[in-house]
Amino acid sequence: MLCSSINADFERTYRREVVAARSLASRGVAVARFHYRGTGNSDGHHTELTFDGMVDDAMSVLGWLRQEAGIAVPVVLGARWGALVAAATSRLSGFGPLALWEPVVEGTRYFREADRARAVRVLKEGASGQRSAEALDVELARYEEADVLGYPITRAFYDSAVERTLAREAGELSRAVLFVEIGSRGGLRPENARQVRRWEEMGFHVRTAQVEGRETWWFIGDRWEPEERRPLTLELARVTGDWILEHIRSGGWGG
């Protein structure tokens, strides 16, 4: 099951998730993709979006996948913000295997990125009295909703999400994890390396991979990936599919 990200990340990873799902399906793996209520093509309004609601939606889809495909131990894949949702879903559903693409490690870090993106836009184009000149938490406290480069963030979502961390959402019971970082090869970034080390010390069986690419997550042009990004998309699908098929063929998720 694939847990998508949100806001600009949703658009950036959308095509990658489609390609990965099709690739997995072509290799005989049952896949479910979905949009959280209030996002994408789902019913609801963005003002209803909360972190707990996202996890509830993921759990519902996971239950449907188990029933329809007869999967006892499903893999939960999360991209960017979806990694936090995937980690929580994996924990709540029995600590099954977890695959992560460029995961958000801390909610606070994600919202700092949003603030920085707005600041860059203000410097580049001029604030002209826009509310975006204020810090995100200040604006949300005053107006209940903020605009980040065309993507709405509500106070309800912010309050439910800002203190979330990948470590807490995943829990402490060991399992198999695929941790994929998008960037230059040569070692994980410090925050990712710390998370991987912590899991390994707790007995998690972590496989790390680096897929070459350069991302500016909050700034996005076309919805679909341009030609030069396709190798990254295909590599994400390959790495993830190989990891899943390896464990299916071995009959377990020990490492």
Q: What is the DSSP string of 42-100?
A: SSS-GGG--HHHHHHHHHHHHHHHHHHH--SS--EEEETHHHHHHHHHHHHTTS--EEE
Q: Looking at the structure, do residues 202 and 254 belong to the same domain, yes or no?
A: yes
* 33 and 129 share one domain: no
Residues 70 and 183 in one domain: yes
Alpha-carbon dihedral sign for residues 53, 10, 66, 100 = negative
72 & 181 share domain: yes
Residue 88 included in any domain:
no
Q: Say if 190 falls within a structural domain.
A: yes
Asked, for residue 11, whether it belongs to a domain, the answer is no
State the Cα–Cα distance between residues 101 and 81, nearest whole angstrom.
9
Question: Rounded to an integer, what distance in angstroms lies between the CA atom of residue 159 and that of residue 50?
Answer: 8
Q: Note whether 216 and 183 are same-domain residues.
A: yes
Q: Burial level of 56, CB count in 10 A (0-12/13-18/19+)? A: middle
3-state helix, strand, coil in the chain (%, to 5): 50, 15, 35
Nearest-Å Rg of the Cα atoms of the chain is 18
Range 90-94, long-range pairs (CB < 8 A, 24+ positions): 90/170, 90/175, 91/169, 91/170, 91/171, 91/173, 92/55, 92/59, 93/59, 93/62
Model pTM? 0.91
Residue 180 CA to residue 103 CA, distance in Å, equals: 8
158 and 169 co-located in one domain = no
Contact 62, 76 (CB under 8 A): yes
Q: What is the pLDDT, as a whole number, of residue 229?
A: 57
| Tally of domains in the chain | 2
DSSP 134: S
Question: For residues 37 and 57, what is the distance between their CA atoms, to the nearest angstrom?
Answer: 7
Q: What's the DSSP call for residue 226?
A: P
Whether 87 maps to a domain, the answer reads no
Q: What angle do CA 237, 191, 75 make, to 5 degrees?
A: 35
In single-letter form, the type of residue at position 178 comes to: L
Nearest-angstrom CA–CA distance, 120 and 112: 12
CATH number, position 191? 3.40.50
Range(s) of the domain holding residue 50: 17-81+96-106+165-255
For the chain, residues with pLDDT lower than 70 are 126-133, 219-229, 252-255
In angstroms, the CA 237 to CA 23 distance is: 7
